[in-house]
Structure 1
Amino acid sequence: MMKCKTILSACILALTTIGAFAQDIPQSQVPAVVVNSFQQKFPKAKGVDWELKAGLYEAEFETGLFGTDHEVWIQSNGKIVRHKEELAKNDLPQAVIANVKKEFPGYRIEDVKKITEEQKVTYAFEVKNGSNEWKLVVDPKGNVLGKVRD
C-alpha cells in the first residue's frame, strides 16, 4: 500500500517538475519528423499547442465534435512515447468500473484519462463520495496500481 502511494506520488512529482521547465514553441520550431508523426497519428487534431519539456515535444489538442482533450509526448525522432486522452466514464472497460464499484462502493468516477505509454494502457481518474476523494491509477483489468487521498 505504501509502495503504491510512493510510486504514484513520484509520478505526479515528475510530471509537475517536467511542467516547470516547459517552453511554449510555435509549430514552425518543431522538427518536421515530429510534426509529420503527429499529423499521421492525429489528422483531425484542432487547436494544437506545442511545448518543449525535458527534451520531448508535447502537443496539446482537441478532437471530435465535443473537443476531447489530448496530450501527446513525442521524441525528436518522431516516436510517440506517451498519449493522454480525456475519456467519458462510460468508455472505461467494464472490469475497471466493476472493480471500482467493489473497492469504493457509493463513490462516483470523475475526470477520466486514458494513458498509453509504450503500448501499455492505464487509466487515471478521481473517485468521490461527499468530501471523500481519491485519485486512482488502474490497469485495464481494474487492478489499482496507485491511489492517493485527495
Structure 2
Amino acid sequence: MKSLLLILVLCISAGAFAQDVRVTHGVPAVVEKNFKKKFPTAKEVDWARKGDRMEADFDVSRVDHKALYDQKGKLLAWKCDVRTGQLPAPVLKTIRSQYKGYKVDDAEKVTRDKMELYQVELDGNPDVSLVFDKDGKVVEDADWW
C-alpha cells in the first residue's frame, strides 16, 4: 500500500514539473486577445505552457501554425508549414548545390523579430535539419524559440 501511494505521489510530482504542460484554462487574457487579433481565422487552437511562455498550436486555412507569446501578450515568434515550392529561390538553390541527393521532407517559415527564417528537414543519408535565412544562408544554432 505504501509503495502504491509513493508511486502515485511520484507520478503527480513528475507531472507538476513537466516543461510542456497542456493548458486548458489559464491563458492570460492579454495573450488570448492579442492572439485573436493577429490570427482571427485560427481553428483548432491548443495552448501549451513552454516555461514562462505560451504556445498556441492551430490551423489557418488548413495549414499548421504555431505562435509563441510571453506572459504580457507579446508575440515572440510564429511559424507555419510551407510547401517546397514556397521556399525562397536562394534557399532552394543552396539545398540543390550543397545537399545534392537530399529531398525536402518538411519545411516551415518562422517569423521572429521581423526576420524570416526557414526550418527545413531534408531526407537523405543522414537526414538533416537546417535553418536558412531568406538569402539561403544556413543559420547556425537557430531554432524556433
Distance 2:32 2:138 in 1: 35
Higher relative contact order (Cα pairs below 8 Å, separated by 6+ residues): 1
**Aligned pairs, how many?**
124
The equivalent of 2:26 in structure 1 is: 29
RMSD: 1.5
> The residue matched to 1:95 in structure 2 has which SS?
helix
Matched with 1:142 is 136
- In structure 2, distance between residues paired with 1:76 and 1:118: 17
What is the TM-score normalised by the length of structure 1? 0.76
Structure 2: gaps spanning 5 or more residues: 1-17
Distance 1:115 1:52 in 2: 19
Percent same amino acid at aligned positions? 31
CA distance in 2, matches of 1:32, 1:132: 44
Matches within 5 A, 1:2-81: 20-26=18-24, 28-64=25-61, 67-81=62-76
Q: Which amino acid aligns with 1:140?
A: K
1:121 matches 2:119: no
Q: Give the gaps of 5 or more residues in structure 1.
A: 1-19
How much does 1:106 deviate?
Answer: 2.6
- How far did residue 146 of structure 1 move? 3.6
Residue of structure 2 equivalent to 1:9: none
Task: State the structure with more CA Rg.
Answer: 2
Q: Distance in 1 between matches of 2:20 and 2:121?
A: 26
Inter-partner Cα distance in structure 1 for 2:19 and 2:99: 36
Give SS of 2:127's match. strand
Residue number among 120, 127, 132 corresponding to 1:133 in the alignment: 127
